[in-house]
Structure 1
Amino acid sequence: MGVANSDGTSIYYERHGDGPVVVLVHGSGGHHAAWWQQVAALRDAYTVVTVDLRGFGNSDSSMPEFDGQDFPGDIVAVLEKERLTGALLVGQSIGAVAALKAGLSRPDRVGGVVLGHSLGGLDHPELSKLVADDRAEAVKLPVIDRLLSKEFQRNRPDMTFLFQQMGTFNVAKMADLRNLSVNGPSIDDIVASGLEITFLAGERDAVLSTATVRRAHELVERSRLDVVPGAPHSMYWERPDLFNAAVARARESLTQRSATRKATV
């Protein structure tokens, strides 16, 4: 475990294992401990870093207001503290927005970004409309039904309860984070960065449709698309086996890409 300084704010993080770097960035209801099923599965092959954004988990929560625009800097502070390079940032939901901005700001330390169940706040009129249409359908459902399948809730009431309890450790709330996507990157910004972008979607995601994700993939040149059959929005929690395998695929793709680049230099 460690603490990084992000412009005077203490950011808690943990580092596990050894190997190519995977940094896990939680969503609005998570924190570092929400990744327990990922750390245990991935740490034997990778360096797995979990981060608490400000207002979440063990990071500083003393500020009167939370500005999502500060989250990318929290991630960068951890990368710098640990002197990490070639990292794969894996963002879940709103965490993907922060991860993408962090990667774009520091391509010297980040090689790729996985946008888990998110378009990463891409600023594009067609995609913005598609996301808004998806959200309009999602808000018709109870919050828990947007995140976990009804089958999982019925069959695993214990894990459903623990999932809901995770958010009680956080001070920052979703309402505090609405401006996170403001000044989002353009497609040209992403392509020019050279980052390897992976769109990770769940076939049963009630928040963001696979059709929307596929369209984003089509528009972002050289991006990867990984649509996981049967997976809901919180795939990392409900189907960790599928989520972990997708992360490993993205990490191996980035490792191979980096090796090819070095060989051609």
Structure 2
Amino acid sequence: MATVRVGGTGIVYDCAGEGPPVVFLHGAGHDARVWRPQLDALADAFSVVAWDEPGAGRSGDLPESYGLADYAQALAAVVESLGPGPAHIAGLSWGGTVALEFYRHHADLVRTLILVDTYAGWKGSLPPEEVRARVEGVRRMLAAPTGVFDPTLPGLFAGEPPAEYVPLLDAMAASVRPRTIGTQLSVMAETDQRDLLPTVAVPTLLLWGERDVRSPLTVARRFQEAIPAAELVVIPGAGHVSNLERPDEFNRAVRGFCLAHP
């Protein structure tokens, strides 16, 4: 575990192994623990890094008026702390949106992009009525008496969550901060990164669950059309959180892609 500070906020990340750095960015409602299968499996060839983004896990609370560019700046501090040279940047769902914004501001720190079941912002990838429905649904969930984020939100998995990871999902859900989710909802509802996609000039892997209904394959196809020479790999039988639902296939795709772009 290591910590960097950006603007007074402590940002914690885990790192395992030695080699070219691969930095994993989790989705909303998760933290670094969601990447446990990747830290375990890929540390033989890479320095595998998983952060707790600001406002999640062991990291400090979000400052006031935090935006997508602020997440990108925080991530830059993490990547720069790893040593000289760019890193492979992999983001799942909301984390992929952060990865794209990081590329916008810090392309020199990006060796490759690995975009997993993600969005060019909700505004940039989903119909307006779907964006409104998602924002309203999560707000209702957080306003309920329990106020706990649902780690099995419909569509996150193609079937039932893998039994071995249910305790992990429950533990992450129990530590979700409503203010963080509220900020992310507002950011995602307002973000449209479609202008950025054609400018991506690093090797890009699109890694998608075949049965993802949160960010369906139609979104992946639009990414593939917009990003020059992007490679799409579809994981059979996987939903939105494909790294947990099909970790072997996920890890094999990441390993092969990163080794192909040293």
Normalised by the length of structure 1, the TM-score is 0.81
What's the offset of the Cα at 1:21?
1.5
For 1:221 and 1:122, the matched residues in 2 are separated by 21
Q: Contact conserved, 2:157 with 2:239, CA < 8 A, in 1? A: yes
Higher helix fraction (1 or 2): 1
* Residue of 170, 176, 179 corresponding to 2:176: 170
Q: Contact conserved, 2:22 with 2:46, CA < 8 A, in 1? A: yes
Partner residue, 2:83: 83
Task: Return 190-199 or 8-17, whichever deviates more.
Answer: 190-199
For the pair 1:230 / 2:241, whether they are aligned, the reply is no
Q: Deviations over 1:23-70 (max 9, x none)?
A: 000111211222111101000111111111111011112646654442
Alignment of 1:1-265 (within 5 A): 1-61=1-61, 63=63, 66-121=66-121, 127-129=125-127, 144-152=153-161, 156=163, 159-171=165-177, 172-181=179-188, 182=190, 184-187=192-195, 189-255=196-262
Structure 1, unaligned runs of 5 or more: 256-265
Structure 1 residues 199 and 82, CA gap change in structure 2 (3 angstroms)? same
Question: Equivalent pairs: percent with the same residue?
Answer: 27
Q: Deviations over 1:129-161 (max 9, x none)?
A: 4x8659969x7xx853311233446xx2x5324
For 2:161 and 2:15, the matched residues in 1 are separated by 30
Partner residue, 1:260: none
Q: Deviations over 1:107-137 (max 9, x none)?
A: 221111111101343875xx444x8659969
Normalised by the length of structure 2, the TM-score is 0.82
Task: Return 75-84 or 164-173, whichever deviates more.
Answer: 164-173
Q: Contact conserved, 1:98 with 1:180, CA < 8 A, in 2? A: no
What SS does structure 1 have at the residue aligned with 2:222? Answer: helix
Superposed CA RMSD in Å reads 2.9
Structure 2, unaligned runs of 5 or more: 138-149
